Amino acid sequence: MLTVSRLIAALLAVSSVVRAVEEPYQLKANQKFQTCAVVANYSHWLLLSENLDPFVGVKIVDKEALKGSKRVPPVKEGEDKKEEEKSFEWDLDVVIISAEDLALTKMEPGPAVKVCDESAMKAQLCHFNPSTVPQYPLDQLVGENLNKKPISAFKLSADNHDIFQYPVAFTENYCVIMQFNTAEESRTLELTINWQQSYGQLVQWDYHYMYIYALIGIIYFIAAISYFYYVFFKRRSTTSEYQGVVNSKTQLRNAEIQLRILLYMIGNCLVYFLTSIHLHSLNKIGYVHSNFSEVLLFFSSLASNTVFSVWVLYNLLLLSSGYLFISGKKGGPVLLFIRFLTGFTFISFLVFDVEHSNVYSFLNDKSYTFMGSTIYIEYLISFVTAAYWSFKTYVHLRSNGKTGTANRFFGTMILILLPVLFSELVREIIAFVISSDAFSTIANLSSYSYIFNLVITLVVAFLWRNTLLDSERVGKE
């Protein structure tokens, strides 16, 4: 079931650009540009917080624009003096303003381009619709003290390009509105904007997920301990059929399905904890991996997720084939097919992980897209195969008089395969919908899938809690 979340994450990674705390921009000449994001000023008592001073910073990084700047250090004595290079004439008008005050500000002309993070999208800061509230020119807004938060307006140039920082006192959406002015229409200006959060280097989306992953990991841990206690200790005294099983090997054979469910819980617990730990590390160092050890840590996080996801896929195909319920299904072409399909999927995921983690890049854009399509096709084959085998196994169990087992099996496969249909719906929407608001809504669906998977796991564990496989097995088809 985690494989569904893995697929959604992979599709979102291919389809979107993740906003970082420090973002690069390239402005076109004489064009007004607006970018908005949430900046948090959380309590310093918050767990896992780095306790930083939040701000919005603007920094010019364009080398061509800074040539000949009076602030460039002079040539040291003894060094060869080169012909002085001068920057082209330019300046940058910048306004940093809260979303609340931006709604009251009349911009003439308005920004030609708007960029938003998830929070700013929800606040409709990337819309170009006419305002329904009274608006005022910026000078009037500030002059008459109509603004609710401080507003910073300043100009940068080749001789005045110090990093500017706007201190943030309240958690809110903030916008940076810029216009690059120059007589040379073909010129562009490169700069970075730093949305420094109080809690560290993560974007707010990932910071919240750091806690969500840790919480879900704890729930899986508690569920695994409780299920282990019930299956191997509690039901010995509550289930009359189980009391007659004394051989340890026979006990494990009878509890094979519960054991696989238990391993799934433990695997989920580890993966969610590792992901939360990785996000905590990123909160300290940022998204840019500056050395090999940081890249390797990221790859290890992805690879562990891959190993577990492929293990889940392998067991899903085994379960749907009737491996646990039909005698004589311990080998043959079915098992070979399952091993081949999951092995190929593992290799595809591993290549994706290597490429995504920047350990080594050997795929161009077309190959990267092809790899994403290949993973999708593998999931499609797995889904169709599992659905077909599940139906055959269900019919075979019923025809052999195992109606109760057949119904539990059918319910289990429906619960497992429904999220796969959900992920397919998400993929189709991502492929055809280009609205940024719609994409934000789709991205939010992935968070619900984690809770959905947890609920499904608990329901499946409950369905099979008292099953003794020896009494449920039937003859070969």
Averaged pLDDT, 135-144: 91
CATH number for the segment(s) 22-68+89-196: 2.60.120
Residues 59 and 212: their CA atoms lie apart, in Å, by 33
| pLDDT at res. 367 | 64
- CA angle 187/188/194 to nearest 5° reads 160
| pLDDT at res. 244 | 53
More confident residue, 225 or 4: 225
Cite the beta strand spans of 152-288 per DSSP E.
152-157, 164-167, 172-181, 188-196
Does residue 105 register a pLDDT over 60? yes
* Range from 13-22, 211-220, 324-333, 464-473 carrying the lowest mean pLDDT: 13-22
Label residue 274 by pLDDT band (50, 70, 90).
confident
Does residue 443 register a pLDDT over 80? no
Residues 461 and 471: their CA atoms lie apart, in Å, by 18
Per-position DSSP letters for 228-261, written without gaps between them:
HHIIIIIHHHH-HHHHT---HHHHHHHTHHHHHH
Label residue 319 by pLDDT band (50, 70, 90).
very high
| pLDDT at res. 2 | 46
* Range from 75-89, 360-374, 385-399 carrying the lowest mean pLDDT: 75-89
| pLDDT at res. 424 | 56
Which pTM value belongs to this model?
Answer: 0.80
Does residue 231 register a pLDDT over 80? yes
| pLDDT at res. 396 | 92
Does residue 71 register a pLDDT over 70? no
Q: Residue 24: which region, alpha, beta or left (left: phi > 0; alpha: psi -120 to 50)? A: beta
Could you give the percent of the chain with pLDDT greater than 70?
76
Q: Which stretch of DSSP H or E encloses residue 44?
A: none
| pLDDT at res. 447 | 66
| pLDDT at res. 242 | 55
Contacts of 61 (CB under 8 A, 6+ apart): 24, 190, 191, 192
| pLDDT at res. 312 | 92
pLDDT in tens, 39-52: 999 876 667 788 88
Per-position DSSP letters for 336-358, written without gaps between them:
HHHHHHHHHHHHHHHHHHHHHTT
What are the contacts of 406-414 at 24+ separation with CB within 8 A? 408/463, 408/464, 408/467, 409/325, 411/463, 412/319, 412/460, 412/463, 412/464, 413/319, 413/320, 413/386, 413/387
Contact between residue 141 and residue 118 where contact means Cβ atoms under 8 Å apart: no
Residues 236 and 297: their CA atoms lie apart, in Å, by 43
The structural domains of the chain, with segments of one domain joined by +, span 22-68+89-196, 203-472
Label residue 258 by pLDDT band (50, 70, 90).
very high
* Range from 55-64, 139-148, 152-161, 327-336 carrying the lowest mean pLDDT: 327-336
pLDDT in tens, 402-439: 999 999 999 999 998 877 666 555 555 444 444 444 44
pLDDT in tens, 159-213: 887 788 999 999 999 999 999 999 888 899 999 999 999 999 888 888 888 999 9
| pLDDT at res. 17 | 39
In angstroms, how far is CA 253 from the centroid of its own chain? 38
Averaged pLDDT, 147-170: 89
Of 338, 339, 340, 268, give the one whose Cα is nearest residue 304.
268
Of 9, 117, 10, give the one whose Cα is nearest residue 369.
10
On whether the 203-472 domain is CATH 1.20.1070, my answer is yes
Contact between residue 170 and residue 100 where contact means Cβ atoms under 8 Å apart: no
Could you give the percent of the chain with pLDDT greater than 90?
40
Does residue 75 register a pLDDT over 80? no
Does residue 237 register a pLDDT over 60? yes
| pLDDT at res. 140 | 92
